[in-house]
Structure 1
Amino acid sequence: MFKFFKNVAREMRKVSWPKGQELTRYTITVLSTVVFVAVFFAIVDLGISEVLELISKE
């Protein structure tokens, strides 16, 4: 098990970590994508709910 963690530490040193500005840009991209998808599905859900309500009233 000690050998495993030693190998993990060695591999982690090889990782290319993003710089501060790069990390900020990626974070903003991810958050804006999540917000866009959430709003999109909320609108689709609202539309489907309205259509089903109109069908059930008839």
Structure 2
Amino acid sequence: MQRFVKFFREVGREMRKVSWPKRKELTNYTITVLATVAFFTAFFAVIDLGISKVIRVILE
């Protein structure tokens, strides 16, 4: 039991050392991630449709 208490004390101590992002930085990071995910989703959807079309043409 003593080991668990020591572990969580050390975790708390380390978490106080963490440099947390400010609200504006966090908002910018979130927007960047969402935009990147949206871009790659659209990109791979277009690639998938193109490859599917090529395969359908070859098989017909």
Please state which band the TM-score falls in when normalised by the shorter chain. over 0.9
TM-score (norm 2): 0.92
Determine which of 8, 13, 19 is the counterpart of 1:5: 8
Please tell me the root mean square deviation across aligned C-alpha atoms, in Å. 0.5
Question: Structure 2: any 5+ residue segments left out of the alignment?
Answer: none
- Fraction of identical pairs, as percent: 63
TM-score (norm 1): 0.95
Give per-residue Cα distances to partners, 1:8-39, cap 9 Å, x unaligned. 11101000000011110000000000000100
Q: Count how many residue pairs are aligned between Structure 1 and Structure 2.
A: 57
Structure 1 runs (4+) greater than 3 angstroms displaced: none
Which residue does 2:51 correspond to in 1? 48
